[in-house]
Protein backbone atom coordinates (compact mmCIF):
# COMPACT_ATOMS: atom_id res chain seq x y z
CA UNK A 1 0.00 0.00 0.00
CA UNK A 2 1.46 3.41 -0.90
CA UNK A 3 0.64 5.01 2.46
CA UNK A 4 3.63 5.57 4.70
CA UNK A 5 2.09 6.36 8.06
CA UNK A 6 -0.43 4.01 9.67
CA UNK A 7 -2.85 6.76 10.74
CA UNK A 8 -3.23 8.06 7.16
CA UNK A 9 -5.90 5.46 6.40
CA UNK A 10 -8.87 4.56 8.58
CA UNK A 11 -11.43 1.79 8.01
CA UNK A 12 -14.72 1.67 9.92
CA UNK A 13 -17.47 -0.95 9.89
CA UNK A 14 -20.98 -0.48 11.23
CA UNK A 15 -23.55 -3.28 11.38
CA UNK A 16 -27.23 -3.30 12.16
CA UNK A 17 -30.63 -4.62 11.25
CA UNK A 18 -32.39 -2.95 8.34
CA UNK A 19 -36.09 -2.08 8.11
CA UNK A 20 -36.75 -5.59 6.80
CA UNK A 21 -34.97 -7.23 9.75
CA UNK A 22 -31.99 -8.42 7.72
CA UNK A 23 -28.54 -7.52 8.98
CA UNK A 24 -26.55 -5.05 6.94
CA UNK A 25 -23.00 -3.76 7.11
CA UNK A 26 -21.55 -0.42 6.06
CA UNK A 27 -17.89 0.36 5.42
CA UNK A 28 -16.29 3.77 5.58
CA UNK A 29 -12.74 4.47 4.42
CA UNK A 30 -11.01 7.74 5.22
CA UNK A 31 -7.65 8.76 3.75
CA UNK A 32 -5.66 11.77 4.94
CA UNK A 33 -5.39 14.56 2.39
CA UNK A 34 -1.59 14.65 2.67
CA UNK A 35 -1.40 11.01 1.59
CA UNK A 36 -3.52 11.72 -1.48
CA UNK A 37 -1.36 14.70 -2.40
CA UNK A 38 1.75 12.48 -2.40
CA UNK A 39 -0.02 10.20 -4.88
CA UNK A 40 -0.81 13.14 -7.15
CA UNK A 41 -4.50 13.19 -6.22
CA UNK A 42 -5.46 16.78 -5.49
CA UNK A 43 -8.17 19.35 -6.28
CA UNK A 44 -6.30 20.92 -9.19
CA UNK A 45 -6.48 17.70 -11.22
CA UNK A 46 -8.92 17.88 -14.14
CA UNK A 47 -10.63 14.66 -13.06
CA UNK A 48 -11.39 16.01 -9.59
CA UNK A 49 -14.08 18.42 -10.84
CA UNK A 50 -17.44 17.75 -12.45
CA UNK A 51 -17.00 17.87 -16.22
CA UNK A 52 -20.53 17.16 -17.38
CA UNK A 53 -24.13 16.58 -16.40
CA UNK A 54 -25.12 13.87 -13.94
CA UNK A 55 -26.65 10.71 -15.44
CA UNK A 56 -30.47 10.75 -15.62
CA UNK A 57 -32.60 9.52 -12.71
CA UNK A 58 -33.56 6.28 -14.42
CA UNK A 59 -29.87 5.36 -14.67
CA UNK A 60 -29.44 5.60 -10.89
CA UNK A 61 -32.71 3.73 -10.26
CA UNK A 62 -31.67 0.92 -12.63
CA UNK A 63 -28.35 0.60 -10.80
CA UNK A 64 -30.10 0.31 -7.45
CA UNK A 65 -32.51 -2.33 -8.82
CA UNK A 66 -29.62 -4.29 -10.26
CA UNK A 67 -27.77 -4.17 -6.92
CA UNK A 68 -30.81 -5.58 -5.10
CA UNK A 69 -31.60 -8.32 -7.65
CA UNK A 70 -30.22 -11.75 -6.67
CA UNK A 71 -27.56 -12.85 -9.14
CA UNK A 72 -27.70 -16.40 -10.48
CA UNK A 73 -24.32 -18.08 -10.87
Write out pLDDT tens, residues 43-53: 677 666 677 88
Mean pLDDT of 19-34: 89
Least confident of 13-17, 32-36, 42-46: 42-46
Name the band, by pLDDT with cuts 50, 70 and 90, for residue 70.
confident
**What backbone phi and psi angles, to 5 degrees, belong to 55?**
-60, 155
Amino acid sequence: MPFVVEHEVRFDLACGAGADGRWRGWFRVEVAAEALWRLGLHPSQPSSVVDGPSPPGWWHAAGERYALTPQVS
